[in-house]
Amino acid sequence: MTAGRLEGKTAVITGACGGMGTVACRTFCEEGASVLGVDVAEEAGERLEAELQGAGLDFVFQRCDVTSSADASGVAAVARERFGGLDVLYNNAGTILGKPLLETTDDEWDRVIGVNLRGAFLTMRALVPLMEGRRGSIVNVASGLGLVGAPHMSAYCASKGGLVLLTKAAALELGPAIRVNVLCPGVIDTPMPRGLADSLPPELGRKLLREWEASHVAKRLGTPAEVVAVAVFLASDEASFVTGAAIPVDSGITAA
């Protein structure tokens, strides 16, 4: 059997129970990694653990609210106990808000910034010490809307744009020992964007989906596997000369 590209590596994946997170956890395991998946959705996480362990994969779940520094420290303690050290941190946890700037509440703003930006900062701060001497890789997940703006997406754009520059600063600070890169996906076919479309009146929701599809060169939404494939590359030793990069996985949206 051919060894996977992540054979022997240890990884923490946040947002493990989301549309991209579940694919990431399975794929990283299938590529040979031992994975600690974290999410606030405890029941879903336990189901995912049972499913992946039942398939013979090396996966465990830990509940974690990424906006909590105490929870992030708890994940670091579990990772240290289970793995001894860490090779990969995949910051996949995220949330979305589509709302006019003037109608966005304090709590909504804080929630989006908290999950999308603060969460990545907290997990990086807690887990980077476990990467000492291991040529670690951090893969953050931002968005194409971290590179370009869009109306009614001010909180989301601010959080993802901040994550892009957090990544670049961290790459310069933590290198060469640790590589730090960020993915900037287009609209990926997961419950998150579909939930945003479903929150609109039906005709407007369908119109938004058609517009999203048309905005991609491929004329369709992306799939989680297409994003995770790039994450696997960045987590692997094949990407040893790649750091500080913001990589669009968006079928050309930001090329315009």
- Return the active site residues: 156
Residues 6+ apart with CB under 8 A from 147: 161, 164, 184, 246, 248, 254
Query: Cβ atoms within 10 A of the Cβ of 227, count?
Result: 23
Rg (CA), the chain: 17
Q: What are phi and psi of 130, to 5 degrees?
A: -75, -10
Spatial separation of the C-alpha atoms in residues 141 and 151, rounded to whole Å:
21
**Amino acid letter, residue 214:** A
Q: Chain centroid to CA 106: how far?
A: 24
